[in-house]
Amino acid sequence: MTDLKTPDLPDEVDADLAPTSPRTRHAAWALVLICMAQLMVVLDSTIANIALPFIRDDLKIDPSNLSWIVTGYALAFGGLLLLGGRLGDLFGRRRIFMTGVLIFAIASALGGIAQNEAMLLGSRGLQGLGAALASPTALALITTTFPAGPQRNRAFSVFAAMSGIGAAIGLILGGWLTDLDPTWGWRLTFLINVPIGLAAAYFAPKLLPDTDHHAGTLDLPGAVLGTGGLLALVFGITRTSNVDPDTISAINPQGTSYGWGDPLAVTAMIVGVVALVAFIVVESRIKNPLLPLAIFASRTRAVAFVAMMITPAAMFAMFFFLSLYVQNIMEYSPLKTGFAFLPFTFGMVFGATLSSRLMSRVDPRFIAGTGTILAGFALFGFSTLEFGHENYWTDIMPFVVLMSLGMGMTFVPMTLAAVHRVRTQDAGIGSGVLNTMQQVGGALGLATLSAVAAHFTTSKMGDLMAGDPTNPLNGARAFADGATHAFLVGAFMIWGASLIVWLLLNVKHTEISEEEAPEGVHVG
């Protein structure tokens, strides 16, 4: 790699992130690059949400297919993460990272100039592929670039903050660009990724270390079964989250009447489960598996994976239902809706920074356990919203901040626990499993809470229609009832994750700082 002069860094960054060996002398700038790519990947999960009605009108997309603009990305992203992580382990993480961000940039350009539904949906799937290659390799590059201890803790806090605030930034950008130009605004939500992706690909060979290419062959049977199973499972779960527009149109005006009783959704989930069972059998019998099952043998990692499956589910549900609530009930504009989540970015940064500093003195159980309790109280606070009496500054903003603090305090210790004592050559698959848990957990959690919201909304609508069928506020009142019940269930979901952390996560903060696994403790 070219021997570049180490750039001047701020004192705090220089003390905590500055590399201590020639191999990692550009680590601080490498972290900036990795986080820029991660921000691009995460914000794309929400940036197009607010623009969906404009996309529908411009491309004449059938309302029943509109939701696939969001779910198509999630399907490809979640289903291909394991494969992306293993490719990085085998063929070099810098190479796979560059490939991923380039694919993402090209796909974003295709989406921005899309002329029809097929072209747009195809570009979203291609974006998901790029994200699945870039995201696990980005996380693995942090693991292999920064030594265990305060440097890695600080790096993960920055990475976790980017992951957490990406969704909020996506809503703000989406609202701003949509308001900027109703015709071209939605296209800009895709095109904004192009220069970011190209810049990341250009600077990658200059700033990122070229990790070793490890021996082994790609597990094709495992790749087919694992990827296919995850795709089928996420497809089925995502399809169940669509709801009936005739009875709960406030939840999803473009929704369809699939739900949990849809035969295709149920069939897809069954196929997914069968494929994943076959995947586990195959992985336990071959020499170079796509997913070394021993990665789950550590209780620390297993607890971290489960917690990081449940926690993001509740967070994504907050973004989904609350963004609809402030638009449909409080009548906020798209841009104002985006800015309603701005405090989340500051709270997330503060929580992640606080947890990274505490990691050198406090065990992860106490930090993540406290964070999940706080996040649960935030969701409980949203469940107390009263229709027609909402005030942003007293009823929403405090709980947005509380949620962000909780997430910041949870993501850093759980991410460190998830990659604890994973060998360097397996860091990619360890990161891939963590990302997969988050994506699948998010899809399952959102589908479950959408079903909860649908049930209570339908019930409330029946009561309201029986009393006053001509009242124009019936739909809004019914949605508000469904959303608050979803928040309440989400609170107990995240408190369940908190209970798991408090009871089962027993790793010490001194162990997290250990650089390598003891002899014989590995996942390969």
pLDDT in tens, 236-252: 876 765 544 333 343 34
Per residue in 419-433, pLDDT (tens digit) is 777 777 677 777 778
353-359 mean pLDDT = 91
Determine the Cα–Cα distance for residues 351 and 408; give it in Å rounded to an integer: 4
Helix, strand or coil, per DSSP, at residue 62: coil
Is residue 105 within 8 Å of residue 198, measured between CB atoms?
yes
Q: Give the pLDDT score at 25.
A: 52
Domain boundaries, the chain: 20-512
The pLDDT-based confidence of 524 (bands split at 50, 70, 90) is very low
Determine how many CB atoms are found less than 10 A away from the CB of residue 285.
8
As a whole number of Å, the end-to-end CA separation of the chain is 28
Helix, strand or coil, per DSSP, at residue 3: coil
Q: Which residue has the higher pLDDT, 143 or 504?
A: 504
Residues in the chain: 524
Both tokens of residue 6? 């180490």
Both tokens of residue 261? 């009783």
Q: Is the pLDDT of residue 210 over 60?
A: yes
Determine the Cα–Cα distance for residues 81 and 241; give it in Å rounded to an integer: 22
The per-residue DSSP string of 121-139 comes to: HHHHHHHHHHHHHHHHHHH
Q: Cα angle vertex 240, ends 239, 245, to 5°?
A: 90
Helix, strand or coil, per DSSP, at residue 363: coil
Q: Give the pLDDT score at 393.
A: 95
The pLDDT-based confidence of 375 (bands split at 50, 70, 90) is very high
Is residue 439 within 8 Å of residue 167, measured between CB atoms?
no
The pLDDT-based confidence of 3 (bands split at 50, 70, 90) is very low
Q: Is the pLDDT of residue 80 over 50?
A: yes
Q: Give the pLDDT score at 63.
A: 65
Determine how many CB atoms are found less than 10 A away from the CB of residue 429.
31
Nearest to 31 by CA among 152, 157, 155, 154: 155
CA dihedral 302, 306, 308, 311 (to 10 degrees): -150
The pLDDT-based confidence of 480 (bands split at 50, 70, 90) is very high
Helix, strand or coil, per DSSP, at residue 50: coil
Q: Which residue has the higher pLDDT, 319 or 203?
A: 203
The conformation of residue 6, written as its DSSP 8-state character, comes to: P
Q: Which residue has the higher pLDDT, 195 or 69?
A: 195
Q: Is the pLDDT of residue 5 over 90?
A: no
Q: Give the pLDDT score at 102.
A: 96
The pLDDT-based confidence of 382 (bands split at 50, 70, 90) is very high
Q: Which residue has the higher pLDDT, 49 or 484?
A: 484
Is residue 37 within 8 Å of residue 139, measured between CB atoms?
no
Per residue in 395-407, pLDDT (tens digit) is 999 999 999 999 9
Q: Give the pLDDT score at 216.
A: 65
Nearest to 322 by CA among 247, 399, 213, 388: 399
Helix, strand or coil, per DSSP, at residue 260: coil
Both tokens of residue 300? 């620390």
Is residue 229 within 8 Å of residue 273, measured between CB atoms?
yes
Q: Which residue has the higher pLDDT, 56 or 53?
A: 56
Determine the Cα–Cα distance for residues 244 and 506; give it in Å rounded to an integer: 45
93-108 mean pLDDT = 94
Give the lowest-confidence range in 254-263, 415-424, 472-481, 512-521: 512-521
Determine how many CB atoms are found less than 10 A away from the CB of residue 388.
10
Tell me the pTM.
0.80
Q: Is the pLDDT of residue 463 over 70?
A: yes
Helix, strand, coil percentages for the chain (3-state, nearest 5) = 75, 0, 25
- Please list, residue by residue across 334-351, b when 16 or more beta carbons sit within 10 angstroms of its beta carbon and e when fewer do: bbebbebbebbbebbbbb
Burial of 217 (0-12, 13-18, 19+ CB in 10 A): exposed
Determine how many CB atoms are found less than 10 A away from the CB of residue 10.
9
The segment with the largest mean pLDDT, out of 23-37, 119-133, 284-298, is 119-133
The hierarchical CATH code for the domain 20-512 is 1.20.1250.20
Nearest to 250 by CA among 473, 11, 13: 473
Give the lowest-confidence range in 101-110, 185-194, 258-267, 340-349: 258-267
Nearest to 431 by CA among 453, 416, 451: 416
The pLDDT-based confidence of 214 (bands split at 50, 70, 90) is low
Determine the Cα–Cα distance for residues 426 and 433; give it in Å rounded to an integer: 11
Determine the Cα–Cα distance for residues 129 and 226; give it in Å rounded to an integer: 15
Q: Which residue has the higher pLDDT, 134 or 252?
A: 134
Nearest to 30 by CA among 223, 127, 159: 159
427-443 mean pLDDT = 78
Determine how many CB atoms are found less than 10 A away from the CB of residue 307.
29
The pLDDT-based confidence of 215 (bands split at 50, 70, 90) is low
Q: Which residue has the higher pLDDT, 363 or 152?
A: 363
Determine how many CB atoms are found less than 10 A away from the CB of residue 295.
23
